[in-house]
Amino acid sequence: MIQQIPLEYYLLLSAVLFTIGTVGVLTRRNAIIIFMSIELMLNAVNLTFVGFASFMGNNAGQLFVFFVMSVAAAEAAIGLAIVLALFRAKKTVYVDEVNLLKW
């Protein structure tokens, strides 16, 4: 008999992915890798949404995922443009070298 994978497994996986993303944002110094970590966080949340939606038999969560994906695409366009503008102005993508603004 095939057993269904319990909901907790999905939630645990997405929590782990979200944590990896958070740690990535907090520890890495390359703007593009930080950005990739943020995308990982968003996709971890998508997994939570799909898991809940599937287990509750309610497709509002799956619908939300489409919105999240399109927002993530828009964010990618803007984010890479900003990194490009930074590289043109300063020839670096490392965030610890970008430190003009501080009190």
Partner 1 sequence: MMQELIYALPLTLIFILSIAVIMVDAFTGKNKTVAYYFSIAGLLGVIIAAIYTMTLPSADLAKMAYEGTISKGMLTYGGYAAFFDILFAVAGILTIVAAKPYLTREYGEYKEFYSLIIFAISGMMTIAHASNMVTIFIGIEIMSITFYVLAGFIRTRITSVEAALKYFLLGSFASGFLLYGMAMVYGATGTLQLQEISAKIATGEIVNIYLQIGLALLIIGLSFKVAAFPFHQWAPDVYTGSPTVVTGFMSTAGKAAALVAFIVIAKSLLPTNFGATLINDKLIVVKEFTENATMIIALISAATMLIGNITAIAQKNVKRMLAYSSVAHAGYLMMGIVANNENGFAGIVFYSTAYMLMQIGAFVVVGVLERDDTKFQQISDYSGLRKSHPYLAAVMALFMFSLAGIPPMAGFPGKYLLFTATIQSGYTWLTIVAVVSSIISMWFYIGLVLNMYFKEKEGDALVADVKSSHFTIAVSVIGVIILGILPSFLIDLAKNFF
Q: Identify the three-state secondary structure at position 94.
A: strand
Nearer to partner 1, 3 or 91 (CB): 91
Q: Is 89 in the site for partner 1 (CB under 8 A)?
A: yes
x/- map, 37-66, partner 1, by CB under 8 A: -x--xx-xx--xx--x---x-x-xx-xx--
Matching residue, tokens 């799956």: 62
Max Cα separation, the chain?
64
CA–CA gap between residue 90 and residue 103 (Å, rounded)? 21
Phi, psi of 30 (to 5 degrees): -85, 125
Contacting residues toward partner 1, per CB under 8 A: 11, 18, 21-22, 25, 31, 34-35, 38, 41-42, 44-45, 48-49, 52, 56, 58, 60-61, 63-64, 67-68, 71, 74-75, 78-79, 82-83, 85-86, 89-90, 95, 98, 100-103
